[in-house]
Chain A
Amino acid sequence: MLKDSELLGGTTPVVAIALVLLPVVLPSAALATEILIFALAALACNLLLGYGGLLSFGQGIFFGAGAYLASLAMIHAGAGFLTALATAALSGTLIAAVVGALAIRRTGIYFVMMTLAFNQTAYFIAYTLDEWTGGENGLLDVPRPPLALFGATLADLGSPMSYYVFVAVVFLLIFVATKRVIASPFGSTLIAIRDNEARADAVGYNTKHFKIVAFAVSGAITALAGALYAMLLNFAPLENIQMSENIVILTVIGGTGSLLGSLLGAGSWVIISDMFAEVWPRWLIVMGGALILVVLFLRGGIWGGIESLAERISSKKGKPG
């Protein structure tokens, strides 16, 4: 089967093909962009949950912070496109490192509860600082400046398709980079911590240090996704921060421990929400039900289901007559 361990082989060509097909198959490039943005957030959540065993209900903090800070940098400091993205990624790294460092002082359920509590904290902070964030109304009129480097304009990202192409390139780069991180000694140590923290600790790894770094990487990617989302919508709503639960759900439905699963999870989430949004606004019930079914019957998520199906087919073929 497709392995995440091969950097440019394995799942990477599948993702590349999917990136080309998405805007063709879907009704709009904006919808395809939205899928990739949530896939980035899921990828980052997956890094923590699927590889580090850290279930974080605080991903919305980083997503929201990325959206706000990139927007504020553009609105108040006149930052360009790449500067705004860099601001988001950097602040995401720092905020996630601080939140992670606090939350991992406890393990297990206390850790999970604290990530949720910190998420509420961030929500109230954004709500209180309404002069900056727009409070409940959200931050309006977020620009989407052209892609420029050292003053030279490389591309105007005004059209939905050109913005999609940029986001797709970013997604592919981060997908490959995340694969690299997971295949590195750092990734192996993270998996060791997930499987048996006491043992990893006893072997001599500073497990706290590894978890904080995992948080920082996850925060950077999530904040980047948030910034891209704000520029897609031209708007940074307060609800971004409440996105944590959704990010966890689409990650789990897609499949934890598989990066391609994150793309599948985000894809099904965005497509289902788009299909139901007009007809039946309470479609989240379906996602709640799907989450329960995945936990009960399909622990590996959509991707895990595809994998076991493929294995069953190939093992049938392998048997003589």
Chain B
Amino acid sequence: MLYAFQVLNGLGLGMIYFLISVGLTIIFGLLNFVNFAHGAFFMIGGYLCYSLVGWTGSFWLSLLFGPLFVAFAAWLAEKILFHRIYHLPHTFHILVTVGIALILQETTIMIWGPVGKNISVPEGLQGVVTLWAFAYPVYRLFLISFTIIIALALWYLLERTRFGALVRAGSESAEMISLLGTNIHRLFAATFALGVGLAGLAGTLSAPVRGVNPFMGVEVLGIAFVVVVIGGMGSFTGALLGGLLVGLVQSLMSTIWPEGASLMIYGAMAAVILLRPYGLFGRA
């Protein structure tokens, strides 16, 4: 029973990791751009949840506007800065986004202070339900169902719509779809906003569970990297399976060895790298 409880926890955690990593992956796939500020945008999503809940009193409004605001900020950053450096080698993408992450982190401390904040679980999702033989928090069940719906919607968007077709075609050859008459600048900016918005959404959703602090960006970025190293960059399925695997490993290990649960994530990555250097789903 304890394991069923932890499997559910791992599922929720894994879906959050999926949301973060899939954003990173979509951006890399289409734009060939490495976003080291991804974790910082996740953090901003969490802090916006804290402030919006404080102002409006409604978690639902913050769930809508928090990620939208993060997506808008990303769109703006793409328009002003990032599109200028697409042509440079990856090292420069990394350095510029590291700079952005640092600025976001310090700005967060300026606005919200260096100490973390807790966000109460929204009304209506408080309390527990009894599943089989154990009690499970309602909010976590909501989190699992909501993220599954988002994942399905995202899959639909990428696989069944014109926008998704352009993103996938652009990932193969951005130049070609540009020649075929697509306004690639708009497509790039929209994709960037979508990918970062997903990180913001993950930040908002996980805020009531884990709280927020100014240094969570780096931690989350590290986990997203583990997911994409395991699952492969640029792959929706890889992000999903990698995210779930990492979430389940972390959650199950926390019953066996609580202090080492975070450590095991990285252990899993090292093991994958030793056995299959190109990831579980990657090609050489």
Contact = CB atoms under 8 A, between A and B. Distances in A.
Check if A and B associate: yes
Interface of A: 53, 55, 102, 105-106, 108-110, 112-114, 116-121, 124-125, 128, 242, 245, 248-249, 252, 282, 284-285, 287-292, 294-296
Most B Cβ at <10 Å: residue of A109, A119, A128, A284: A109
Contacts of B270: 102, 118, 121
Shortest beta-carbon contacts, A-B, top 4: A288-B102, A113-B225, A120-B222, A121-B266
Contacts of A106: 229, 273, 277-278
B92 interface: yes
A298 to B, nearest CB: 12
Interface of B: 28, 34, 81, 84-85, 88, 90-92, 94-96, 98-103, 105-107, 109-110, 218-219, 221-223, 225-226, 228-229, 233, 259-260, 262-263, 266-267, 269-270, 273-274, 277-278
B100 A116 contact: no
Contacts, number: 115
15 contacts: A112-B91, A114-B225, A114-B269, A117-B269, A120-B218, A120-B222, A125-B263, A128-B260, A245-B102, A248-B95, A282-B110, A285-B107, A288-B98, A290-B99, A295-B99
Nearest to B261: A124
A117 B95 contact: no
A133 to B, nearest CB: 13
A106 B99 CA distance: 24
Contacts of B101: 288
Where chain B touches its partner, the secondary structure class is helix
Contacts of A109: 28, 34, 90, 94, 233
A167 B269 CA distance: 38
Contacts of A288: 98-103, 106
Contacts of A242: 218
A285 B103 contact: yes
A312 B169 CA distance: 46
B6 to A, nearest CB: 19
Where chain A touches its partner, the secondary structure class is helix
B96 A124 contact: no
A294 B269 CA distance: 33
B99 A118 contact: no
Contact of B84 (A121, A245, A290, A296): A296
A106 B273 CA distance: 8
Contacts of B263: 121, 124-125, 128
B233 A110 contact: yes
Contact of A120 (B28, B229, B266, B273): B266
A295 B81 CA distance: 12
Contact of A292 (B91, B99, B221): B99
Contacts of B102: 245, 249, 284-285, 287-288, 291
Nearest to B273: A105
Contacts of B85: 295-296
Contacts of B105: 284
Contacts of A249: 95, 98-99, 102
Given A110-B229, A285-B107, A291 B222 contact: no
B98 A248 contact: yes
B231 to A, nearest CB: 12
A287 B229 CA distance: 29
A76 to B, nearest CB: 22
A292 B100 contact: yes
B222 A117 contact: yes
A295 B229 CA distance: 26
Contacts of B218: 120, 242, 245
Contacts of B278: 106
B136 to A, nearest CB: 27
Nearest to A242: B218
Contact of B226 (A105, A112, A117, A292): A117
Given A116-B222, A116-B225, A121-B263, A102 B273 contact: yes
Nearest to A122: B266
Nearest to B101: A288
Contacts of A125: 263
A285 B278 CA distance: 36
Contacts of B262: 120, 124
Contact of B95 (A114, A120, A128, A252): A252
A117 B99 contact: no
Given A105-B277, A106-B277, A288-B103, A245 B90 contact: no
